[in-house]
Amino acid sequence: MQTTLKIAVQKSGRLYEGSMKLLKECGIEVSNGNNQLRVQAANFPIEVFFLRDDDIPEYVQDAVADIGFVGENVVKESRKDVDTIEKAGFGKCRLSLAVPKNGTMKTAADLNGKKIATSYPNILNAYLKEKNISASIHEISGSVEIAPRIGLADAICDLVSSGSTLFTNELKEIETILSSEAVLISNKNLSADKKIILESLLFRIRSVKKAKNNKYVLLNAPNDKVKTICELLPGMKSPTILPLAESGWSSIHSVIAESDFWNVIQQLKANGAQGILIIPIEKMII
Ligand code: PRP
Ligand code: ZN
């Protein structure tokens, strides 16, 4: 029988779409039309398990699933014995302290003697200890944001992504405790066969992530500017230079990092580049 790698994905919520999109970009076809608990990929030896995100570290630790996409915040809070092997490139968020917008509390120190509602008691407890704040923690598993309004707590410690949950509940952030994003975690004792599948999946994930961080650039330049422009464009090896039909001009092709993008474009223009085209890269294998 062929080995399959079991991958846990959040069944609904912030990380579901990012996880499924990444698998798709890796060329892995998973259909979850019928709201099933587990689905075998059509063209890659993995089986996807749809689970509650908070349960994923435990399932991976206990080898119910071999690997899983989950927030770093959940991994840290769960204290399970799993390996974090790769940032997944989506699901950026932060765990923050928030208080009623119109109240008097302004800093974390103002929480002394107060009650904080959270689903992250371990992380919050460590933070309060480190900062020498003595507040009581009220653990609740969901809808933490309504706790201050119903008199259950004075403040909350919860995940913030777009900030809209805080906004609708008239809360304001006063301190970030942890920055987080989705990661791929793995069971510590994968068989050799499963490790081979994981390596092949990781190769695809890294190619997708690299492509997202880079852009393909095409531009035209007068021949006497080609050398200067090429120095601005490091590329994967060195830029490609092709003569244009119009004599005295060349077309230059290269790859630049998304982070350098605006800076480099300005310099290219200043050095005589024309007709600059920036094209997204789908996969990047190096
Ligand atoms: C978090 C948090 C808020 C929401 C914040 O939930 O509990 O409800 O996301 O996002 P926003 O700033 O974009 O409004 P999470 O995704 O962890 O879901 P869960 O609590 O159901 O696990
Ligand atoms: Zn959750």
Are the C-beta atoms of 154 and 107 separated by less than 8 Å? no
Task: Please state, in angstroms and rounded to a whole number, the distance separating the CA atoms of residues 194 and 208.
Answer: 21
Q: To test ligand 1's pocket by mutation, which of 95, 164, 165 has the most ligand atoms within 8 angstroms of CB?
A: 165
pTM greater than 0.75: yes
Domain boundaries, the chain: 5-90+181-211, 93-180, 214-280
What is the model's pLDDT at position 173?
97
Same fold, 93-180 and 214-280: no
How many other CB atoms sit within 10 Å of the CB of residue 173?
Answer: 14
Are the C-beta atoms of 240 and 218 separated by less than 8 Å? no
Q: For the structural domain made of 93-180, what CATH number should be given?
A: 3.40.190.10
Task: Please state, in angstroms and rounded to a whole number, the distance separating the CA atoms of residues 111 and 96.
Answer: 13
What is the model's pLDDT at position 262?
86
Q: For the structural domain made of 214-280, what CATH number should be given?
A: 3.30.70.120
Residues within 6 Å of ligand 1 by CB = 13-14, 53, 142, 158-165
What is the model's pLDDT at position 236?
66
What is the model's pLDDT at position 67?
98
Quick check: 121 pLDDT over 90? yes
Quick check: 53 pLDDT over 80? yes
Regarding the domain delimited by 5-90+181-211, which CATH topology (the fold level of the hierarchy) does it fall under? Answer: D-Maltodextrin-Binding Protein; domain 2 (3.40.190)
Please give the distance of CA 174 from its chain centroid, rounded to a whole number. Answer: 23
Task: Please state, in angstroms and rounded to a whole number, the distance separating the CA atoms of residues 242 and 244.
Answer: 6
Quick check: 17 pLDDT over 90? yes
Q: To test ligand 1's pocket by mutation, which of 124, 159, 166 has the most ligand atoms within 8 angstroms of CB?
A: 159
Quick check: 136 pLDDT over 80? yes
Q: What is the mean pLDDT of residues 181-190?
A: 98
